[in-house]
Homo-oligomer: A and B are copies of this chain.
Amino acid sequence: MGFLDKVPRLEALIERLESAEGLEDLQNVIEELRDSFGVDHMIYHWVNSKGDQYGCGTYDLEWVNRYVQKGYLRVDPVIVGCFQRFHPVDWKRFDWSSKAARAFMQDAIEHGVGNQGYSIPIRGPNGQFAHFTLSHNCNDEDWQTFTDKNRRDLILISHSFNQKALEFQPGRTPESSQSLSPREIEAMTLLATGLSRAQAADQLSISEHTLRVYVESARHKLGALNTTHAVARALNRGLIVI
């Protein structure tokens, strides 16, 4: 039975996904998902800008290691393309024109990655970014048919998968956020918009000294080392919005 004839049952798949009990189990889940959709590979890949990454999926371990070791993260058009997009996208629509990208593609195909691919960008709080990707070996027409048919189910699955992955990801849970006083919020917000302390104080019609007290206070509450750090933390915790 070809992969076009598979009829994945969304309900059952999501139920299984939500019953997952740890990162190891997610690996089992993604293999089951791959089988349910009948494609060659399915991958969840989480990444942040520090270069940390976590992934689970059905690629060869050798390829995964090579990917990490060669720093393909900064070359991979799937990463770059997903980062710029909102909606699911076929790999054909990525920019493969650069030399590095073409070399990467050739290397990938040699390591068992399919010639077709479909990736769903996912974004969470605090700039979290991931993508959920399917890869397969087939012709363009079949792939188009397949992705058209399963697009919505895949969106929902990728969402649930990301939620599960976030749950199991240590250190991604928000710290105990002590709230800021109204004045502190105002002061931090103005600084975050680029005003100097003097300008911000002027805008609030208070002395610069007073404003400084608010900023200091906010810094201490946030456990921040300096103003920039405090603004960054306040933004990250959603305490201020700019």
A84 and B128 alpha carbons, distance in the complex (Å): 11
A227 at the interface (CB under 8 A from B): yes
List of B residues within 8 angstroms of A156 by Cβ: 152, 155-156
A23 at the interface (CB under 8 A from B): no
List of B residues within 8 angstroms of A185 by Cβ: 49, 74
A55-63, A108-116, A193-201, A205-213: which one contacts chain B? Answer: A193-201
A87 and B240 alpha carbons, distance in the complex (Å): 21
A129 and B242 alpha carbons, distance in the complex (Å): 12
Q: What is the distance, in angstroms, from A79's C-beta to the closest C-beta of chain B?
A: 7
A179 x B125 contact (CB < 8 A): no
Q: A83-B238, A86-B125, A238-B84 are in contact. Are A226 and B49 (CB under 8 A)?
A: no
**Residue interface mask A142-178, B partner, CB < 8 A = 1:** 0000000000100110010011001000000010100
A106 at the interface (CB under 8 A from B): no
Can you offer 11 A-B residue contacts whose CB atoms are under 8 A? A74-B189, A74-B240, A83-B238, A86-B125, A86-B128, A87-B159, A127-B240, A155-B159, A191-B228, A194-B224, A194-B228
Question: Chain A: residues with CB nearer than 8 A to chain B?
Answer: 47-51, 73-74, 79-80, 83-87, 98, 100, 121, 123-129, 152, 155-156, 159, 162-163, 166, 174, 176, 179, 182, 185, 189, 191-196, 224-229, 231-233, 235-242
